[in-house]
Each structure stands twice: as structure tokens, then as C-alpha cells.
Amino acid sequence: MTSEALGFDPFIARYRYPGRGIALGRDVQGIGFAAYWLTGRSAESRDRRILVDADTLAVSDIASAQSDPLRHYTAIVALTDRIVVGNGTQVSEVTADLGQEVTAWEALSKLAYEPDPPILTPRITAIATVAGNEMVDVILCGAVAHPRWPNMAQHNMFHTGHFEPGQSHAMTTYAGDTSVVSTSGQPWAVEIDTVWQELHKRIWANLDPALRVAAAVVPIGGDLRDGRFIGAADPIVHAGTRPSTT
């Protein structure tokens, strides 16, 4: 993990093809947030939308075709006092583990990269405990292929006891362009200089229009049983498709 901190806009814009991205932190007013965004090279990857429910945010196919677990999954889950964010089916797996009193470290340490050779896309996941406006015991994990022994998964871990207002950490799956896909899975310190309601607009503006698919930011605070994602910012969805919100 790098000790360098980036501004929010430079982090989003630094790679033309970031794949999928997650961020967890607190805005300048101290309100916690979780962000998720995705880009796609192929028509199939771009033909997706975000669905927001009371306590989940999922990625789905616009055409409602047969589900592909590498492209359709739950990306954010709110539990009673925790938030789980990630780029694939591991979000549901980690959530189930936490429900069985498996520790966050144990749940994340079990993860491997995606079975999509030759890329071996990292699985990027974040967990935090929410106590009012405080976000504590924050862990981000990138499960990536070992650079020397690619059949071995290694885990790029970041942990902090809490976030102060204006602090976040973020990750992307890729770190380059579409011609040669380079994997990332590295946690980065990212400074937040605005309120959470503005972040989804800035994500969208800093993603390549030819590749961007969807972006969403949800506020996190208080007792997650009361409201959870209700009142969250409307996701910006590919091709102007309205999100399904219940």
C-alpha cells in the first residue's frame, strides 16, 4: 500500500480503464459514505445498471439476460452495524461469513482473484463498522494474483481504527488502458474535499465517456437498521437508464 494521498478527482481520472472501483470514507462534514463505480471494454460489460434497495446496491444486466457472476453481483451491503463493499460475488460471501461470526480479517483472507485468465482480475473489498457518523475498524483488501506465482493469491491489506472527516481509502481493479489491461488491487489514501452528495457527479465526470457504465454513492451513518440506503443519491447509469429503487 502506498503512503501517498491523492485528491478525489485525480484518483478517479488517473487511469483511462480503472475497471471497477470502490471508496469508503467520510466527507468534509464527517458523514460516512460508500462509493462504487464501474467501466467496461465490451458491449456486454457496458450493458449493465445499478439497482438500489433498502440495504443493498447490486449490479445487473440491463437486458435481464442470464446472470453472469463475474458481471452481475451485489456490490454494497448494509448490515446492522457494518458496511461491506466490493466488486463481485465475494461481497455476499463475506457478508455470510460475518453473519457466522467469522472475523473480518478471516473473511477477507479467504478471498482469491477472479477466475478470468489471463487477466486474473483482483477482488477488491472493504469492510467498516459504523457507529453514528463514526466509521471505525476499517479494512480494505485487494486479493490479487502473486506476481511470481500467479496460481497463489496474495492480499494487499489496509487497516485503520477510524476515519476523520475528509479521509477515505479507495481501490480499483485495473491500472491502465484498454489495450493492455494492468491489474491493481492496491488501497490508496484519497482526500475528500466536498460533501458526499457531490461525489457521484465527480466520479462520472472523471471517467472516460467511452468506457463508463455506472456510479453510485450512498451515505452511511447512524443505526443502519433505520433507513439504510433510503435517501441515497440516485446512481448515474449507463445510457440514461433509470435505476430501480425500492
Residue-level pLDDT at 112 = 96
Residue-level pLDDT at 157 = 96
Residue-level pLDDT at 246 = 34
Domain residue ranges of the chain, discontinuous segments joined by +: 5-239
Residue-level pLDDT at 239 = 35
| Distances, alpha carbon 121 to alpha carbons 27, 150, 151, 188, 220, in Å | 29, 11, 13, 18, 28
Residue-level pLDDT at 164 = 95
Residue ranges of the chain with per-residue pLDDT less than 50 = 223-246
What is the rounded CA–CA span in Å between residue 218 and residue 37? 12
Residue-level pLDDT at 87 = 96
What is the rounded CA–CA span in Å between residue 94 and residue 228? 19
Which residue, 164, 174, 156, 162, is CA-closest to 129?
A: 162
What is the rounded CA–CA span in Å between residue 168 and residue 190? 5
Which residue, 83, 80, 98, 85, is CA-closest to 137?
A: 83
What is the rounded CA–CA span in Å between residue 156 and residue 134? 24
Q: Look up the CATH number of domain 5-239.
A: 3.60.20.20
**Hey, what's the cell of 45?**
460489460
Residue-level pLDDT at 3 = 59
**Hey, what's the cell of 141?**
483488501
Residue-level pLDDT at 122 = 97
131 in helix, strand or coil?
Answer: strand
pTM of the model: 0.89
